[in-house]
Structures are given as C-alpha cells and as structure tokens.
Amino acid sequence: MNDQSMPFFASGVDPGPSFVELLRRVAPHDLPGGTGAAGAGGSDPALFPPLTHATTVVAIRFADGVVMAGDRRATSGMAIASRRIEKVFRADDHSGVAFAGVAGTGSEMVKLFQTQLEHYEKIEGETLSFEGKANQLAQLVRGNLPAAMQGLVAVPLFAGYDDRRGRGRVFSYDVTGGRYEETDFQTNGSGGVHAKNWIKASWREGMTIDDTVDLALRALFAAADEDAATGGPDLVRRIFPTVAVIDASGYRMLADDDIERRANAQLGGREEGAGL
Amino acid sequence: MTMPFYVSPEQVMKDRADYARKGIARGRSLVALESAAGIVIVAENPSRTLFKISEIYDRIAFAGVGKYNEFEMLKIAGVRHADLKGYSYSREDVNARGLANAYAQTLGQVFTHEMKPYEVEILVAQVGATAAADELFHILYDGTVMDEERFTVLGGQADTIAQALESRYQDALSIGDAVKLGASVLGDTDQPLSPEQLEVGVLQRDAAGRAFRRIKGDELAQFLSS
C-alpha cells in the first residue's frame, strides 16, 4: 500500500464496513492464503515439512459470562515447537477467540478477525451484534477452506458476553465455516475430547467464576494427561494455561500468578490413585 | 462559435477558496485542547448520532467541521488507511503525521483538480506519553497542514474562539476543566453550551490500547456543572 494515497472507492465497489473486503480491493496479497501459498508447493500435505500445530482450547459458560482457556503447547510432528504459545485472544471488549490447528493459519485468522471487529466499530460507530461477530468469523473460516483442503486446517472457538441479551454465549465452528451455537461449553483441538468429557462430568448451571476457571484448568490437565500434543502444567519453567474471563465488565486475562496458584492447588488431586 | 472566457489561475483558486470558506463558515466550530490526562475535543453538535468526532486508531482521533458527508467520507478513508497500515505493518507504525500527510494530499488534489473543493476543515490528533508529545494537525480545505500546539480551533468562528482561548487556556488542565473551557468558548456571550448541544471526545493519555472514548450523558453534565 502506498502510504500517501488514501483508499477511496466509487459507490458500486465500496467495501463498506468490512475490512476483509477492503483488503481484497487494495491489498489482496495480505489476505490469508492470498498469495496462493497452499497450492504453491503441490497439494499433497505429506510433502510439507511438519506444520506447527496448536492444540487444546476450551470455552465454558458460567452464571455471568464465559471462561476461555488454552494449554501452551505447539507441536511440529513429534517435536515440541513451542512451550509458550498462546491460543486464547481478545476479539473485542466483550468477546474472545481461541483456535486449534495450524498455528500460522490460526493466528492469521485471529488477527484478521480482531481487525475486522474493530474496523466495523469505527466505521459504523457501533459494535456488531454478538451473532454478527460469530457470522463474521464463520466467513473467515469458510474463506480458509481451500487451504484447509490442502492441510492448513485451523478451527476457532468464539465466546463472550452478549450485552444485548445479558448472558455468556459459546460458538464452535467446523472447517467448512459451519457455525454452531453451544448451550454451555465446547472444546477444540486434539485434546478437546478429553477436556470435554471432564467438563461434561462436572459442569452445572450457574457456576461461579472461581469454580469455572478451576474446571477449565482441570479439563486442560486431564487433556494433557491423555494427549501428547497438549501441554500440562510445567512446574519447572512455571508455564501454565492462559485463561480469559469475559463478563459484563469486559474481557480480562487472569494474571500468571493467579493461574499458578490455582494450578498448584489442583496438583495431587484426582489423577492420584485414579490409575491415570 | 463562442470563445470560453479566460479566467486567471489566481482567480480560479480564489473563487474556490471563497466557496469552501463560505461553506465552512455556515457550520459550527470545534476546539481541541491538550490537557494533563489527554487531548479533549469539544464540538458544538446537537445531533446524537451524526458525529463530528471519531476514533481513527489506538491513539489517534479525527474531527471535522463543514459539510457532514464530506468529512464523514474523509473519516472513513482515514480509518481504512490506519487499519490497513496497522494490519500490514504493526500497530505502532500508525501515526498521526502519516495520516495528516495523506489527508493533505487528498484535499490538495481535490482543491486543484476538481470543480468543487471540499467544504471542510479537519483535525488529526494524537495523544502522546506527555502533553509535550501530543500532536494536533489542523488541515484546511486546500490541503494546508498546520501543526498546532496547546489547542486548536476549527470552523467559521475560529479567530474569535482562538482569541478567547489564548487568554484562558492553561497548561495541565484536568479533563473536566478542559471540557468546561471548550464548552464556554464555543458558546456566545460566555454562556457555556449545554450538554445537549455538545459532542465531546477524549484521547486518554494513560490508556493501554485504544485511547479514544466519548464523554456524554451524566458524565458530561457533571463536568459542565462542577
């Protein structure tokens, strides 16, 4: 983009409040997959060098909002690519987005989604409805489908506080851009099924923030117990999952030492003697 | 066959400038003031929905006077410019100077090449870590850019209002005092404008991310009555 020229459009081709459409008009190479990267080296995923994958994330509704959490491991094939990756992000003041799958694709999708929400808000002078945000994300996932068919799969979770309805909401997606509203909780990623079982066994209506954060951590530890690609609490390096709480007062990440304290309190809990 | 009349370039430019100035003078003015806690922008604007003051980026705000549809279009172009730059480089690479230059280029281009100049004056404000690092770019209908200090006034009655501010402005005002001062110099005969007649935006100096917020409703009424 030329720094000195401003983007103006004739009325028929004006991108409106959509940042994705704007990119498509003026900088298509900046769109995810815009350079045709997925197809460039042939379409057989087996020919790729091992891709970096991010894994397990959870979103759980509680009495006043939602809790989102993710472990910190990324893998490349059998190797650990990162011990400190973050998979849970602020989408805007009242929502968060997390992803599992190919880390490059997922983080690009998140960045575009964040920009899209902020862009809409500034152009239109008001925020999108919660459903509108969920649909925008579905379009980004759908846009990634050709790349996903060639192995670059990343699928998000979207959750937050719907201030027009006064409650927490959780949306999950599939690789085609299918968008599904969950009633209470959802997980994603290779350890997701283990985390989900744990949540399912303990979740109840009207939980407090404290209990929900602990449940999210517990579910991630259970996933790490069973799934090699999910990282457990790293006591040596003091690395713990990232946890975000979203309620009427907005989006906030819990402080590291708070999570460490909670994680330590869970050690020696039900894993001991349970044959795990 | 009729010959077109010769009109000197000086005359063409003067006519356009007069036209633009007349359009701007019909609208109401706005002021921007540097204060201890950030940059305060106060506009006379009875509408609750058609804004003169807007957020552009993390620490940058936009304000316009004159023809609404024209400065609204410029605002949208500014948001697009900033978001594109922040997306392809980094959020820290978006700055008011670059944006002001782009606006100046656009307005200058339209002023010299189009039949009708834009009937607007705009402000690009960026809040810094200290008041000394604040930036106020005041851009005229023909692309002239002025880098202002302490405060700036846009609109038809700018000279009178600037005179009043010159004697009453102080460094390190609180946000409330800045809002009050703005409201009082915008009103005539020193009767401050009421909250219903005002639109107020502030770029908060200590904000971590997006610094822009609107001051309205009870908060605004409280500032004005204190």
CATH number at residue B183: 3.60.20.10
* CA A90 – CA A176 distance, rounded (Å): 23
Let me know if residue B189 belongs to a domain: yes
pLDDT at A25 over 60: yes
Q: Which among B141, B100, B132 is positioned nearest to B36, based on CA atoms? A: B132
Residue pairs spanning A and B at CB distance below 8 A: 60
Identify the bridge partners of residue B57 per DSSP, sorted by sequence position. B60
Which of A4, A19, A125 minimises the CB distance to B102? A4
User: What are A's interface residues with B at a Cβ cutoff of 8 A?
Assistant: 1, 3-8, 19, 22-23, 26-27, 30, 111-112, 115, 118-119, 122-123, 125
Q: What is the pLDDT of residue A35?
A: 55
pLDDT at A158 over 60: yes
* CA A65 – CA A161 distance, rounded (Å): 5
What are the strands, taking DSSP E only, across A57-178? 57-62, 65-70, 74-76, 79-82, 88-92, 95-102, 154-162, 167-173
Cβ B101–A4 below 8 Å, yes or no? Answer: yes
Q: Which among A190, A18, A178, A184 is positioned nearest to A87, based on CA atoms? A: A190
Let me know if residue B34 belongs to a domain: yes
**Distance (Å) from the C-alpha of residue B180 to the closest C-alpha of chain A?**
25
Q: What is the pLDDT of residue A274?
A: 46
* CA B215 – CA A276 distance, rounded (Å): 56
Cβ A123–B51 below 8 Å, yes or no? Answer: no
Cβ A6–B56 below 8 Å, yes or no? Answer: no
* CA B138 – CA B63 distance, rounded (Å): 10
Whole-number Cα distances in Å, A39 to A53, A102, B110: 19, 16, 43
Query: What is the spatial order of strands in the sheet that B135-139 belongs to?
Result: B53-57, B60-66, B120-126, B135-139, B145-148
- Residue whose structure tokens are 């690609």: A229
Give the rounded percent of residues in chain A with a pLDDT score beyond 90. 82
Q: What is the pLDDT of residue A49?
A: 78
Let me know if residue B185 belongs to a domain: yes
Close Cβ partners of B157 (under 8 Å, ≥ 6 residues apart): B25, B29
Q: What is the pLDDT of residue B191?
A: 75
**Distance (Å) from the C-alpha of residue A259 to the closest C-alpha of chain B?**
23
Cβ A123–B79 below 8 Å, yes or no? Answer: yes
Which amino acids of A are annotated catalytic?
55
Domains in chain B: how many in total?
A: 1
What parts of chain B have a pLDDT lower than 70? Answer: 1, 189-190
ipTM of the complex: 0.93
Close Cβ partners of B194 (under 8 Å, ≥ 6 residues apart): B224
Confidence grade of residue A271 (pLDDT, cut at 50, 70, 90): low
Q: Cα A142 from chain centroid?
A: 16
Give the total residue count for chain B: 226
**Distance (Å) from the C-alpha of residue B60 to the closest C-alpha of chain A?**
12
What mean pLDDT is predicted for residues A230-242?
94
pLDDT at A4 over 80: no
Q: What is the pLDDT of residue A42?
A: 53
* CA B29 – CA B158 distance, rounded (Å): 7
Going B210 to B216 to B217 to B222, the CA torsion angle's sign is positive
Structure tokens at A45: 């995923």
Chain B residues touching A7 at Cβ < 8 A: 77, 80-81, 84
pLDDT at A266 over 90: no
Q: Which among B61, B70, B69, B43 is positioned nearest to B141, based on CA atoms? A: B70
Write out pLDDT tens, residues B31-72. Answer: 999 999 999 999 999 998 899 999 999 999 999 999 999 999
Let me know if residue B5 belongs to a domain: no
Cβ A1–B51 below 8 Å, yes or no? Answer: no
Write out pLDDT tens, residues A34-71. Answer: 554 444 445 566 666 789 999 899 999 999 999 999 99
Q: What is the pLDDT of residue B1?
A: 67
Domain that holds residue B74: 28-225
Which chain A residue has the Cα nearest residue B84?
A: A23
Chain B residues touching A10 at Cβ < 8 A: none
Give the 3-state secondary structure of residue A62. strand
What are the strands, taking DSSP E only, across chain B? 30-35, 38-44, 53-57, 60-66, 120-126, 135-139, 145-148, 151-154, 198-204, 212-215
Residue ranges of domains in chain A, CATH in brackets = 50-266 (3.60.20.10)
The CA-to-CA distance between both ends of chain A, in Å, stands at 55
Determine contact, residues A246/A90, Cβ cutoff 8 Å. no
Q: What is the pLDDT of residue A38?
A: 45
Let me know if residue B160 belongs to a domain: yes
Which of B49, B88, B106 minimises the CB distance to A30? B88
Which of B49, B78, B87 minimises the CB distance to A115? B87
Close Cβ partners of B153 (under 8 Å, ≥ 6 residues apart): B29, B30, B31, B161, B162, B165
Let me know if residue B181 belongs to a domain: yes
Lowest mean pLDDT among A2-6, A49-53, A191-195, B107-111: A2-6
Beta strand A88-92 with B53-57 is unpaired
Close Cβ partners of B186 (under 8 Å, ≥ 6 residues apart): B28, B29, B30, B31, B42, B43, B44, B161, B193, B198
Residue A234 DSSP one-character state: B
User: Choosing among A3, A21, A251, A253, which should be mutated to test the B contact, i.e. which has the most B CBs within 10 A?
Assistant: A3
Give residue A46's identity as a one-letter amino acid code: A
Cβ B83–A118 below 8 Å, yes or no? Answer: yes
* CA A164 – CA A231 distance, rounded (Å): 36
Chain B residues touching A118 at Cβ < 8 A: 83, 210
Confidence grade of residue A269 (pLDDT, cut at 50, 70, 90): low
pLDDT at A210 over 90: yes
Structure tokens at B184: 């009082």
Let me know if residue B64 belongs to a domain: yes
Chain A residues touching B51 at Cβ < 8 A: 125
Cβ B56–A122 below 8 Å, yes or no? Answer: yes
Confidence grade of residue A14 (pLDDT, cut at 50, 70, 90): very high
**Distance (Å) from the C-alpha of residue A116 to the closest C-alpha of chain B?**
9
Q: Which among A157, A273, A163, A174 is positioned nearest to A216, based on CA atoms? A: A157
